[in-house]
Amino acid sequence: MNIIGFNKPYLTGKETTYITDAVNSGKISGDGIFTKKCHAYFEEKYGFKKCLLTTSCTDALEMAAILINIQPGDEVIMPSFTFVSTSNAFILRGATIVFADSNATHPGMDEDSIESLITPKTKAIVPVHYAGVSCNMDKIMAIAHKHNLYVIEDAAQAIDAYYTGIDGIKKPLGSIGHLSAFSFHETKNIMCGEGGMLVINDEQFIKRAEIIREKGTNRSSFFRGEVDKYGWVDIGSSFLPSDIIAAFLYAQLEHLEEIQQKRLTIWNTYYNLLSPLAQKGYIKLPLITTGATNNAHMFYIVCKNLEERTALITHLKEKNINAVFHYLSLHKSPFYEHKHDGRELPMTDFYSDALLRLPMYYELSLGDIVRISDTIKEYFNESINIK
């Protein structure tokens, strides 16, 4: 019986061709022809004001923290159920992280808890669009406006996902906050191995973002002919990727609609096959929140507890199927536990214990999905019979 892995990067066929083109262009460092093509693609398709490719989503978040001038003692509100990069970007600037709990119905942050966490030291809110499903951005932006806070969308998983707010306008995720960060890691819908992007929606940050990305120099302005020489004008680092990375990414972007359509088919097949288990109360299936679209980044199920999830993982592994859990609660991490304010975050801990991600990649066949779903059903049938 063949092994079904958790993830397999999908290649469109043009990646190596475009990498060769980038090499032959003689410009393989940052901001070459393919970087510019990627920037134009995102700005035209999604209406982002300014896009800057980065070496990772982590770097994009770190740039955002610099841009909003995070200082030691500033507080930043974000979910605890997220990857460590969301938090690290602000910790590196000296911020205190104030963790919000997850929702009772889905792993995204509980927007209703945000306002109670705000203090005079709060500088920003960082919503994470978990599994590409939008947070309630109307509520978050209203709170931010009321308290004069920045909003930085962690849209690592949210490429080609949208939110329709109370105004009835469908907006791409990443276009709503002041800044946003995307990931193109090999586990994402559109990928280049390692890569990311900073999206700037507030014009006040555009010029400085280019400087920070170029090691604190005004090199980009120099190459556009805006200054006659360039020098060190601000803090920064080497955040821009090689044009070889951008060439790989552009080959993926040309097939975005095809990739998204296939992933949605896989997601919907899982949902339909596993719905009987959810209807009987054995598991919970992903919730697409009000106003959100489904970009099919991830398919997960929620078990009743840690013991059940552990047993199900073992059962799947015995059948050569690799399913994995996701984040561990950041507020209980060895690094931050003693810095956390002591509040209980029960839903965060629940998802850390009970959420299970199923294999999700372009080349999964219908037979693979049926086999995975049948194996999950088999586990619950055997478990119920034993009891």
pLDDT digits (tens, 9 = 90+) for 98-151: 999 999 999 999 999 999 999 999 999 999 999 999 999 999 999 999 999 999
Question: Among the CATH numbers 3.40.190.10, 3.40.109.10, 3.40.640.10, 1.10.3720.10, which is that of 15-253?
Answer: 3.40.640.10
Q: What is the mean pLDDT of residues 72-89?
A: 98
pLDDT above 80 for 22: yes
What's phi and psi for 207, nearest 5 deg?
Answer: -60, -45
What's phi and psi for 216, nearest 5 deg?
Answer: 85, 15
pLDDT above 70 for 385: no
Give the Cα separation of 46 and 66 in Å (integer).
25
**Percent of the chain at pLDDT above 90?**
93
Give the Cα separation of 300 and 235 in Å (integer).
41
pLDDT above 70 for 331: yes
Structure confidence by residue, pLDDT tens digits, 340-380: 999 999 999 999 999 999 999 999 999 999 999 999 999 99
Structure confidence by residue, pLDDT tens digits, 285-300: 999 999 999 999 999 9
Which residues, in sequence order, are CB contacts of 308 under 8 Å at separation 6+?
354, 383
Whether 162 contacts 178, CB under 8 Å: no
- Check residue 223 and give its pLDDT: 66
**Please, what is the average pLDDT of the chain?**
96
- Check residue 289 and give its pLDDT: 96
> Please, which residues bridge with residue 102 across strands?
109
DSSP annotation of 99 reads E
What's phi and psi for 352, nearest 5 deg?
Answer: -60, -35
pLDDT above 50 for 254: yes
| C-alpha 315 chain-centroid distance | 29
Q: 3-state DSSP call for residue 265?
A: helix
**Percent of the chain at pLDDT above 70?**
97
Residue with tokens 């469908």: 170
**Best CA proximity match to 42, nearest among 273, 207, 250, 331:** 250
Q: Count Cβ neighbours within 10 Å for each residue of 339-348 and write b for 16 or more, e otherwise.
A: ebeeeebebb
Structure confidence by residue, pLDDT tens digits, 201-252: 999 999 999 999 999 998 777 666 777 668 889 999 999 999 999 999 999 9
Is the pTM higher than 0.85? The answer reads yes
DSSP-assigned states of every residue in 103-124: PSSSSSB-GGGHHHH--TTEEE
Whether 100 contacts 117, CB under 8 Å: yes
- Check residue 323 and give its pLDDT: 98
Q: Where in the chain is the domain with CATH 3.40.640.10?
A: 15-253
How many alpha carbons fall within 13 Å on the CB side of residue 302? 15
Q: According to DSSP H, which parts of the chain are helical?
A: 15-24, 33-46, 57-67, 84-91, 114-117, 137-147, 206-213, 219-223, 243-253, 256-279, 306-318, 346-354, 366-386
Q: Where in the chain is the domain with CATH 3.90.1150.10?
A: 256-386
Helices 15-24, 243-253: crossing angle, 10 deg rounding: 140
- Check residue 386 and give its pLDDT: 46
Whether 194 contacts 55, CB under 8 Å: yes
> Please, which residues bridge with residue 284 across strands?
302
Give the Cα separation of 181 and 162 in Å (integer).
15
Q: How confident is the model at residue 387 (pLDDT cuts 50, 70, 90)?
A: very low
**CATH number for region 256-386:** 3.90.1150.10
Which residues, in sequence order, are CB contacts of 13 under 8 Å at separation 6+?
251
**Best CA proximity match to 235, nearest among 205, 213, 219:** 213
**Dihedral, 138, 143, 145, 147 alpha carbons, nearest 10:** 180
